[in-house]
Every structure is written in C-alpha cells, then in structure tokens.
Amino acid sequence: MTIRILAIDDSPTMRGLIAAALEPAGFEVHLAEDGIDGLDRLLAADPHLVITDINMPQMDGFGVITAVRASTGHASLPILVLTTETGAELKQRARSAGATGWIVKPFDEAGLIDTINRVLGL
C-alpha cells in the first residue's frame, strides 16, 4: 500500500524539500500552498497523514487542524505541524486544536520519515 501524505506550506522551497525527502522513501506526496488550498485538495488526495506549516496566508495551520478535525471523513487523520516556531504556547495551541505532533524546521529527512512511520504505526 502506498502511503499518501498531504503537505501544506506556503514556501515553494519547503514544499520541494518535503517532496524530495518523502517521495524517494516511497510516499505519495500531494502539495498545497496554503490552508485553503490544502483543504481543497484533502478529499482528492485522501491522505493517510497531513503535514502543515503554521504561518501561512489565507488560512494558517491552526485553521487547517481545526477544519480537518471538524470534517466527517478525516477527523482522526494524523496531523504533523512542521514549522520554524518553537514556542510552548503555540505547541499547546496546536495540541489543543488536534495536532498529532510538532517538528521544527529545518527538518532532518530521516527524522521526518521516522516520525511519519511511528505516527502511522509502520
């Protein structure tokens, strides 16, 4: 089974880095440029896991987490936050909204893959 991941980040460079790290590891990566784009792509991508940035235009990562948790078909979907933010308040806010985990940029490719595998029980 191919694991599908929806990665949401407003930085084209970061989207490229995520895809470059995950695709060679066998993941099918779907990319979105902000929260609204990510939610638009959610049904078609039907991901096993979402990776989202926090600071994005139009809809931030907190909005993404809240919307995914409120959705009927994806409410229990694992969501990893990938961000430059390190504040305890933001981490707690993400956890309260329903985030599964928190990874600080810049990320280590092997660490990201390990975290995804652990979260998905692979």
Q: How confident is the model at residue 93 (pLDDT cuts 50, 70, 90)?
A: very high
Using the predicted structure, report yes or no on whether residue 78 has a pLDDT greater than 90. Answer: yes
What pLDDT does 72 receive?
86
Q: What are phi and psi of 100, to 5 degrees?
A: -85, -35
Q: Which residue(s) pair with 5 in the sheet?
A: 29, 49
Q: Please, what are the domains in the chain?
A: 4-34+45-76+93-120 (3.40.50.2300)
What pLDDT does 121 receive?
93
User: 79 near 98, Cβ under 8 Å?
Assistant: yes
Q: How confident is the model at residue 102 (pLDDT cuts 50, 70, 90)?
A: very high
* Mean of pLDDT values over 7-22: 97
Would you tell me the crossing angle of helices 61-70 and 35-45 to the nearest 10 degrees?
Answer: 40
Q: What are the start-end ranges of the H helices in the chain?
A: 12-22, 35-45, 61-70, 88-97, 109-120
Calpha distance 108→114 (Å, rounded): 10
What pLDDT does 85 receive?
85
